[in-house]
Amino acid sequence: MVLAGLATAAITTSGLPASAGAAPSSGLDIVQLGELPGGTGSRAAAVNDRGVIVGSSKTADGHDHAVRWDPDGRITDLGLLPGGGHSRATEINNNGDIVGAGDAAGENERAVRWAPDGTVTALDRVPGEHNSGANGINDDGYVVGSASVGHLMSLAVVWEPGGTAAPIGPASLQSTSAAAINNHAVVAGSTLESSRFNMFWAVTWTLGDARGVVLPHLPGARVRDTALSVNDNGLVVGRADSYLGSSPYYPDHAVVWSPGADVPTDLGTLPGGGDYSVANDVNDEGVIVGTAATNTTNGRQAVLWEREENGWRIVPLPQLPGGTWSEATAINDDGDVVGIAGNAQGQWVAVRWER
């Protein structure tokens, strides 16, 4: 089996289910972030504890460029690798180091890092790599992401502060990806069993330990779980199949894996909404952000989950005027939330939710 040799997780719920009932108001306002001159779309991917936001914005010629917004919302084009045509920023640490991906002249997309002064550097490749991207960076400068090494096959990768690349976990795994790393060198991601069932297992690794920990899935559900973020207290969030059914459609639900028991908590969906949600990020205060289906066709609404005495409370975040789709991608320890939303013109734009 693809997961042979991995340790079984000792990770569980807090014993607190998602709270039922009508969703409360967040008390937050949605603000559209600026775009590059002539651009018609943007995305906010991450925010650090200083309020600096990173993501991407389209240029006047329609290409995506990695960008940074300062706490006042001023945008800076982070630029490209030499001869490149596009780039995107995916994460920023509290020192101002930014990671993401971009192409260079005559090359496929590869993982990159921008220094606080904006200098861009291509990170090392792993053997057999076709392309790569960086998804997370901690305050010590360790970067994680994934490298494509074959048809539908990838390797979770860590880049040391000096840029040297190494695969994470045992070579017996068929396909792995790393989504995030915390300040205790714990990496969250997933592994794929390449079969007709296409089972995805949520996994965590600690740097220096190749065994990995397979996270448990929801009782009775198919194994199609993905870990997307981990905070410094060991809370892991992501998404999981919510039940085992006969239909080819198995709805994802946002879940949280908490240290201490044996199953994840299903965070549920919006009251009166559709049967779908995903948790993208969690801060060190334990506040989780993501998106959930609404009662409109293909509608999505950015949400956050807060822990209460009797469970997790889901809180919808405002949409842009005329918009029916939004997603919260990141939250910092001060509670600043960023993401993407559709406006009345049907464009996807970077947004921030603020008090």
> Is 12 or 255 the better-scoring residue by pLDDT?
255
Q: Which whole-number Å values give the CA distances from 336 to 141, 254, 280, 355, in the listed order?
A: 22, 20, 14, 9
List pLDDT tens digits, range 101-155: 999 998 999 999 999 999 999 999 999 899 999 999 999 999 999 999 877 688 9
- Give this prediction's pTM: 0.92
Cβ–Cβ contacts within 10 Å for residue 219, how many? Answer: 11
Angle at alpha carbon of residue 146, lines to 142 and 293, rounded to 5°: 105
Domain boundaries, the chain: 7-30+104-332+339-354
Least confident of 206-210, 246-250, 311-315: 246-250
CATH of domain 7-30+104-332+339-354: 2.120.10
List pLDDT tens digits, range 163-172: 899 998 765 5
β-pairing verdict for 29-32 and 42-47: unpaired
Angle at alpha carbon of residue 180, lines to 335 and 341, rounded to 5°: 50
SS3 label, residue 179 = strand
Average pLDDT over residues 84-105: 97
Long-range contacts of 233-236 (CB under 8 A, 24+ apart): 233/259, 233/284, 233/286, 234/184, 234/186, 234/258, 234/259, 235/259, 235/282, 235/286, 236/11, 236/188, 236/202, 236/204, 236/282
Q: Which whole-number Å values give the CA distances from 242 to 49, 162, 346, in the listed order?
A: 33, 41, 30
Residue among 350, 354, 319 at smallest CA distance from 336 = 354
Separation between Cα atoms, residue 18 and residue 305, nearest integer Å: 9
Separation between Cα atoms, residue 178 and residue 130, nearest integer Å: 17
